[in-house]
Amino acid sequence: MAGAGTLLGVRLSGGEWLKVVYLLLIGLIPLAVLGILIGHLISADALAPVTGGVVTLLALLGGSYGFLIAKSGFMFDVVKALPSYWLVQAGKVAIGGGGWPAQAWIVTVAWTASWTAGPRSRRAGCCRCACRLKARPNDQAAAGR
């Protein structure tokens, strides 16, 4: 990433690059957990449209497309409660100096914890997971060949 940024004209010190990369990796954790959760809950046929819709919505609300839907008021409070907003802010840290505020860390940890707890609370009653573990008669016959 640093190499690509440097080739495109971005000039940051080594420490600034480390800070940006570190915050970007931390900011990606809740989104990676969300992807795993969606993969467990959605059928393979619906996975691409659901994932595309969720990613697009989070990117739009978080400011990934270069603009924010709101810059003050209630809607801005909603936007700041999304991990995608703080992921975008991680890329701006080197420009503006400083680091993430406490709210960014709270949002990142809260979303990661909530999406991680989702499958655990449903594990006992999740038909889809139980079905994956059961051997189907056709699979047993194919394994015996």
pLDDT tens figures, 96-131: 767 788 999 999 999 999 888 765 555 444 545 544
Residue 103 lies in a domain: yes
Residue 1 lies in a domain: no
Identify the domain containing residue 81 by its residue range: 14-143
CB 145: neighbour CB atoms within 10 A?
Answer: 4
Angle between helices 83-96 and 73-80 (to 10 degrees): 90
Spatial CB neighbours of 7, under 8 Å, sequence gap ≥ 6: none
| Overall pTM > 0.75 | no
Residue 132 lies in a domain: yes
In the chain, how many domains are there? 1
Residue 9 lies in a domain: no
For 70-94, write each residue's pLDDT tens digit: 788 898 888 889 999 988 888 877 6
Q: How far is CA 94 from the centre of its chain?
A: 21
Write the DSSP symbol of residue 134: S
Strands (E), 39-138: none
Q: How far is CA 11 from the centre of its chain?
A: 27
Residue 8 lies in a domain: no
Residue 20 lies in a domain: yes
